[in-house]
Structure 1
Amino acid sequence: MLPITEDHLVIRTDFSDPSAWAAVQADLAQKWDDEFDIYVEIIDDPAYDGLGPEQFLAMAPADYPHQIVVLADSVTMADPERLLLVVSLEESDEEREAFLREHGYWDEETAAGGRGWENGWPQRGGVFRSTAPGVGAIAANLSVANMDLGEFATAVDEQGVFRNFENE
């Protein structure tokens, strides 16, 4: 099971480059928007070496308190920007659809466009990359329910990276 923590998790899953990991930790120690701390719980445990999103989905209980887990994987370590992998732990589309139908908010027109990030719907297991400042913005806003994960997922750039609304 995933550890239950106050803050969202950033889990190291690649142990091939200690200097790259040190750089990731330094990035996460910076402030986002030049004023806000990045509140995450960093897990640096070789037990997670090589694990991917599917394994973390299986480790998240149904009542897990966070909507995401962030992975520092092999791509993170190899990328000069140290882009982290954000994995959605949100409910599946089917559960969301049932909730919306039950409460009279289902919109057949929106649903016809498909499900997933493209229309802001939650997608359990959906992934996108983010900069460390982006992770700070995501974690902070999800923690206070100011924004939902779909808003971040649909704000990725053409490379599929959330950069903390830099292009707005």
Structure 2
Amino acid sequence: MTRRLPDGDSLLIRTDFSDDALWRDVVDIVSQPQTDDGEVYVAELTLVDDRAFDRITLKELVAEIATSPRSYVFVVDSDAIADPEHSVLAVDTSGDSGDHPTFRVHPSQMPTVESNLSIDNMDFEEFSSAVAADGVFRGFEYE
């Protein structure tokens, strides 16, 4: 099966095809606008809903992306489908080595993460270092 990634900066790749309704629900909730200090943010995601990516491993996915200029992708995997919060996997694809850091993004935070990564305002490590104990980014804690 041939895999092809579409054009677009911020890909949301579906790798679990077990439940079409839940996939649509996840897309809907990660696409909700977020308001911060009067500013409205929306995650500008390019959806990859292609069965060629069904059950692709992280290693295989990173290999597919290796030839593209993308430094990150978002993945709706089996954990995102099973998780009641539907936290999406964020993957740093910028490294050359086999080390590709990941963290999960709570859907309410997708606009923050996507918009900042897409314009290089913040880097992957800034978000991954602010995850909760369960590995999910739910926003920055300010003291």
TM-score normalized with structure 1 length: 0.73
For the 8 Å contact 2:87–2:106, the answer to whether it is kept is yes
State the 1:92 CA deviation.
4.3
**More helix by percentage:** 1
How far apart in 2 are the matches of 1:124 and 1:80?
28
Deviation at 1:142, TM superposition (A): 1.6
1:15-30 equivalence runs, <5 A: 15-30=17-32
Q: How far apart are residue 82 of structure 1 and its match?
A: 0.4
Superposition RMSD in Å: 1.9
Q: 3-state DSSP class of the match of 2:22?
A: helix
**Matches for 1:113-128 after TM superposition, within 5 Å:** 124-128=99-103
Q: Which runs of 4+ in 1 moved over 3 A?
A: none
One of 62, 70, 82 as aligned partner of 1:78: 82
Gaps of 5+ in 2: none
Q: Determine which structure has more spread, i.e. the larger CA radius of gyration.
A: 1
User: What is the deviation of 1:138?
Assistant: 1.8
Letter paired with 1:83: S
Partner SS for 1:33: strand
Flag the 1:24–1:91 CA change in 2: closer, same or farther, 3 A. Answer: same
Which amino acid in the other structure matches residue 160 of structure 1?
A: G
Aligned-pair identity (%): 33
Matched, 1:46 2:51: yes
Aligned equivalent of 2:119: 144
Shift of 1:2: 5.5
Q: Which residue of 2 aligns with 1:8?
A: 10
Q: Which runs of 5+ in 1 are unaligned?
A: 94-122
Q: CA separation in 1, counterparts of 2:54 and 2:22?
A: 15
